[in-house]
Homo-oligomer: A and B are copies of this chain.
Amino acid sequence: MKIGFIGLGRMGSAMATNLLKAGHDVTVYNRSRDKAEALVGEGAKVAATVAEACRGGAVFTMLANDDALSAVVHGDGGVLASLQRNAIHISASTISVALSERLTKEHAAVGQRFVAAPVFGRPEVAAAGKLFVTAAGEPEAIEAVTPLFEAIGQRSFVVGEEPKSANLVKLSGNFLIASVIESLGEAMALVEKGGVDRHQYLDLLTSTLFGSPVYKTYGGLIADRKFNPAGFAAPLGQKDIRLALAAGEALNVPLPLASLLRDRFLTLLAHGGEDLDWSAVGALAAKDAGLGQD
């Protein structure tokens, strides 16, 4: 399938690579062109403009946040202005429910189609083509792009016909992960101050009740106090909690645990956490308890 791919960060580059490996004809675009050039060896064509990446039947966007996505979608030469009639914009970014709703309307108004398809998985998972894709949109559009999902992920889940449903699910998923981080942070602070070794404790947890990779991965980072380099940076985590809260606000859904996470992220950012992994939130309980930060 002839497609475009816009946004070649660590996640986007891995996804585009897997699309190329699966035999798709991919034209890639990135604001800083070097990341696009890096994929030429994999068979990618490089677009000089957003518009050039919008000439196929579908275009992926994988960008950092609402503003970055809006910047490539709106305005002259943007995705909206460039995509052919009936072509599909697949938004894989973690964006707000509000922007998803807006894009759904805007694309429909000009005869294009919009599918939200945010993904779960850190960069190494993306590289392995093992992402989980959470998709929502009109059934026909979803069906048309399913082969693309198969190229980037191990499984895809269709959660509704309104694209925003997928965004809501993605945000809630990141909220759940952040909840794990906070709960592990508190539990480890408690047992550590009570004299139990936190690595031994984590081993017990993950060997018994909490065997899933989320507990192993984030528990390990917290126990090791290894928050650098960031697999998923704290400002992105803060953004996602903000978007989950905003979605809750629009729906009148109080989310006290998300509120607690909000304040944790702000505390982290107020103390130089900009470049840390979001799991650094899991060290704040220990800090409040007066434990050393080693």
Q: How many residues of A contact B (CB 8 A)?
A: 74
Contact A189 B289 (CB under 8 A): no
A97, closest chain B residue (CB): B194
Tell me if A214 counts as interface (CB < 8 A to partner B). yes
Tell me if A215 counts as interface (CB < 8 A to partner B). yes
Shortest CB distance A132–B (Å): 4
Known interface pairs A182-B257, A255-B263; 18 further A-B residue pairs with C-beta atoms within 8 A, sorted by A's residue number: A157-B208, A159-B201, A168-B191, A172-B190, A172-B191, A176-B187, A177-B209, A179-B183, A183-B257, A190-B251, A210-B212, A252-B289, A252-B290, A256-B263, A256-B285, A257-B257, A266-B288, A270-B289
Tell me if A43 counts as interface (CB < 8 A to partner B). no
In the complex this chain forms, how many copies of it are found? 4
Determine the chain B residues whose CB is within 8 A of the CB of A145 once the complex forms.
Answer: none
Determine the chain B residues whose CB is within 8 A of the CB of A253 once the complex forms.
Answer: 186, 189-190, 193, 266, 270, 285, 288-289
Q: Mark A152-181, 1 if CB is under 8 A from B, else 0.
A: 000101011010110011001101110110
A159, closest chain B residue (CB): B196
Q: Mark A70-107, 1 if CB is under 8 A from B, else 0.
A: 00000000000000000000000000010000000000
Tell me if A269 counts as interface (CB < 8 A to partner B). yes
Determine the chain B residues whose CB is within 8 A of the CB of A196 once the complex forms.
Answer: 159-160, 165, 168-169
**A259–B245 CA distance with the chains assembled, in angstroms:** 10
Tell me if A134 counts as interface (CB < 8 A to partner B). yes
**A265–B105 CA distance with the chains assembled, in angstroms:** 30
Interface centre among A97, A159, A183, A205 (most CB of B within 10 A): A183
Q: Mark A123-160, 1 if CB is under 8 A from B, else 0.
A: 00000000010100000000000000000000101011
Shortest CB distance A34–B (Å): 32
Contact B194 A164 (CB under 8 A): yes
From B120, B157, B248, B259, give the contact of A190 (CB < 8 A).
B248
Contact A195 B266 (CB under 8 A): no
Tell me if A42 counts as interface (CB < 8 A to partner B). no
A263, closest chain B residue (CB): B254
Determine the chain B residues whose CB is within 8 A of the CB of A262 once the complex forms.
Answer: 245, 249, 254, 259
Determine the chain B residues whose CB is within 8 A of the CB of A164 once the complex forms.
Answer: 194
Q: Mark A200-221, 1 if CB is under 8 A from B, else 0.
A: 1101110111111111000000
Contact B159 A200 (CB under 8 A): yes
